Amino acid sequence: MALIVQKYGGSSVADPDKIANVANRVLKGYMDGHRMVVVLSAMQGETDRLINLAREMGDPPDPRELDVILATGEQVTVSLFSMFLKAEGVHTTSLLGHQACIYTDKAYGRARIVGIDASRIKELLKKGRIVTVAGFQGVDEVGNITTLGRGGSDTTAVAVAAALKADLCEIYTDVEGVFTTDPRVCKQAQLLPKISYDEMLEMASLGAKVLEIRSVGFAKHYNVHLRVRSTFSEHPGTLVCPEDEEMEAIPVSGVAFSTQEARVSITGVPDRPGIAARFFEAVAQANIVVDLIIQNSSVDGRADITFTVPKGDLLRTLEIVQQVGKEVGTREILSDEHIAKVSIVGVGMRNNAGVASRMFAALSQAGINIMMISTSEIKISCVIEDKFTELAVRVLHDAFGLDQPRVGKG
């Protein structure tokens, strides 16, 4: 008999029939003798609808009141779900964030969980109940309702699983698990039976949307075994877990891509201590997150700096850089929105030589020029022209043998 936390996303609870389907899945686990805690998202589209509704009262809406309205999406699904189970004669209790004692800081709209008092959930489980917890929401120290940021129900599920020391946390969604790359871009994409926390963190930050990134960090920190699987099939999905030898033998586990960034180049920057700091401090002060940075070696005491920022922050970045550029004296400031970042990820990169050269060779054979490169221990990213994104993904997927079905046990 295990303690299992199951989280169902918005598409799994999109209407009453789907909620009934979820309830039957949960019931199956319960009948098998497991203790079941269920975390639910709002119905698909509901959170967006509530945001738009709030905007009609003035844009941007007041952050505190926005969290009050957003929390109602999950309140609806946990109550409907519990009504269905009760009508079937099953003992169940729904809990909102504050009732489940999910404590957060007071950063409305992007609150962090600071602690969970799991004693009420434990007590209900002891009484043989199925416990249903509203995802995405918590309460701050003075009782204000907070929300965790978009996709935050994944984090609720993992945090509740950690607090309960659950045996497993299953994240149910509308895809079968984590794939080697986006199956919409590359038909040969394969389902991964398992992936390490670090690889999943990289994949999530590089644009793979199957799990919210904060939940993966949480899972790693508390060693929660996560399984990502589909609500609409019996496939076991993908296990997200600590690294093992089998994973280390494979140099590349997946290919990720993003077209959400833009490139800024500053040419003729005076090559003296403190100049780069001037630019990047000013950008950071505006809360703009810089991703890749390269600086070429200087000629005649002047260098070029190129970096990427989220597309939505490009205009503000250019204003800032132009201002600092005037103060320190530069030649030109250029920008390019037509870029993409393609990345390969794998813990096996650490002890397999030649991974980078294979990546560059594969791109060059396809006639794709590399504009920027960045690496970490388990990732290599290249910035290319965005019109080549899909081609690059397919070429890299093929070059690293990812088209072959994975056999390892998840």
Find the binder of Mg ion among 9, 61, 73, 254 (CB under 5 A).
9
Q: Which does 42 bind (CB under 5 to 8 A by kind): ligand ASP, Mg ion, none?
A: ligand ASP
CB of 47 to Mg ion, least distance (A): 10
- Cα separation of 249 and 189, whole Å? 20
Closest CA to 134 of 73, 85, 91: 73
Q: Which does 215 bind (CB under 5 to 8 A by kind): Mg ion, ligand ASP, none?
A: none
- Cα separation of 84 and 264, whole Å? 54
Q: Does 152 bind ligand ASP (CB under 6 A)?
A: yes
Q: Which does 410 bind (CB under 5 to 8 A by kind): Mg ion, ligand ASP, none?
A: none
Q: What is the DSSP letter of 368?
A: P
Q: Which does 30 bind (CB under 5 to 8 A by kind): Mg ion, ligand ASP, none?
A: none
Please give the residues from 139 up to 158 whose contact with Mg ion meets the rule CB under 5 A.
Answer: 151
CB of 408 to ligand ASP, least distance (A): 29
Sheet bearing 194-196, strands edge to edge:
92-95, 130-134, 35-40, 3-8, 168-173, 226-230, 238-241, 194-196
Backbone angles phi, psi at 335, to 5 degrees: -145, 160
Q: Which does 112 bind (CB under 5 to 8 A by kind): Mg ion, ligand ASP, none?
A: none
Q: Which does 136 bind (CB under 5 to 8 A by kind): ligand ASP, Mg ion, none?
A: ligand ASP
Stretch that binds ligand ASP, among 87-95, 145-153, 237-245, 389-397 (CB under 6 A): 145-153
Q: What is the DSSP letter of 279?
A: H
Please give the residues from 51 up to 90 whose contact with ligand ASP meets the rule CB under 6 A.
Answer: 73
Q: Does 135 bind ligand ASP (CB under 6 A)?
A: yes
CB of 136 to ligand ASP, least distance (A): 4
Phi-psi label, residue 272: left if phi above 0, alpha if psi -120 to 50, beta otherwise: beta
DSSP three-state, residue 196: strand
* Interhelix angle 119-126/153-164, nearest 10 degrees: 70
Q: Does 153 bind ligand ASP (CB under 6 A)?
A: yes
Binding mask 289-328 toward ligand ASP (x if CB under 6 A, else -) reads: ----------------------------------------
C-beta closer to Mg ion: residue 93 or 173: 173
Closest CA to 172 of 80, 130, 235, 116: 235
Give just the sign of the alpha carbon dihedral 376, 379, 382, 387. negative
CB of 216 to Mg ion, least distance (A): 12
C-beta closer to ligand ASP: residue 211 or 344: 211
DSSP three-state, residue 230: strand
Q: Does 231 bind ligand ASP (CB under 6 A)?
A: no
CB of 61 to ligand ASP, least distance (A): 16
Angle at CA of residue 340, ends 335 and 342, nearest 5°: 140
Neighbouring CB atoms inside 10 A of 397's CB total: 24
CB of 73 to ligand ASP, least distance (A): 5
CB of 293 to ligand ASP, least distance (A): 31
C-beta closer to ligand ASP: residue 73 or 251: 73
- Asked if 97 and 66 count as a contact pair (C-beta separation under 8 A), the reply is no
Q: Does 138 bind ligand ASP (CB under 6 A)?
A: no
Q: Copy the structure tokens of residue 326.
A: 């005037």
Q: Which does 268 bind (CB under 5 to 8 A by kind): Mg ion, ligand ASP, none?
A: none
- Strand residue runs (E) in 41-185: 92-95, 102-104, 113-116, 130-134, 137-139, 145-147, 168-173
Question: Considering just the CA atoms, what is the radius of gyration of the chain in Å?
Answer: 24
Binding mask 14-53 toward ligand ASP (x if CB under 6 A, else -) reads: ---------------------------xx----x------
Q: Is the peptide bond before 60 cis (omega within 30 degrees of 0)?
A: yes
What is the binding site for Mg ion (CB under 5 A)?
A: 9, 151
What is the binding site for ligand ASP (CB under 6 A)?
A: 9-10, 41-42, 47, 73, 135-136, 150-153
